[in-house]
Amino acid sequence: MKMSKNVNIYLEANPNPNSLKFVTDKILIDDGIIKDYPDVESAIDSPLAISLFEFKYIKRVFIMSNFITLTKNEDISWDDIKIELRDFIKKYIEEEKTILNKSITEDNSTPHGDLDKKIIEVLEEYIKPAVEQDGGAIQFESYNNGIVKVSLQGACSGCPSSMITLKAGIEKLLKRFIPEVNEVVAQEI
């Protein structure tokens, strides 16, 4: 068992009261890769996520860049579990255990339409940074007949305020920049 340098982790709350963001001073997975695991069965490519699901109160694991957002069951308080989880993640990273299996490749297929590209540019520049700061991610799924479909991941998935953010923030912004957009809807993952 080899030990790496000491890893620092701090916790950030976000608008979803059942999610907490664990931010490390180490890059966990390559930039641009987003891993959202709604259950243990979907975590086949991440030994870290599988280990986190062993905590019975964990409902969702989201890994991106230098942070992990965990979503817990509603019947337990963060005050009762956050130190245990932080210590587990810290030890896991310091022991340089596998976070993401290398053999899994990310699907980076790009949309072809000009309108798709415009929508993605607006999402990337104006929306993604704010969503990531809250411990989640937004992914463009499709555009058809004025309707933009996006997937909300991490802390955003199941967040009580995500629909307000979607309609009052994201939809309003996309309509302002791209007049062809009439509505933005979230696609469940």
> For 122, which DSSP code?
H
* pTM for the full predicted model: 0.71
CB 80 within 8 A of CB 41: no
**Mean of the per-residue pLDDT values for the chain?**
87
**Token couple for 66:** 């230098």
pLDDT of residue 105: 45
189 band by pLDDT with thresholds 50, 70 and 90? low
| Whole-number Å distance between alpha carbons of 72 and 8 | 22
What per-residue confidence (pLDDT) applies to 163?
Answer: 77
Among 7-11, 20-24, 129-133, 179-183, the minimum mean pLDDT is found in 129-133
- pLDDT tens-place string over residues 145-157: 888 999 888 877 7
What pLDDT score was predicted for residue 73?
95
Mean pLDDT of 14-30: 93
pLDDT at residue 91 above 90? yes
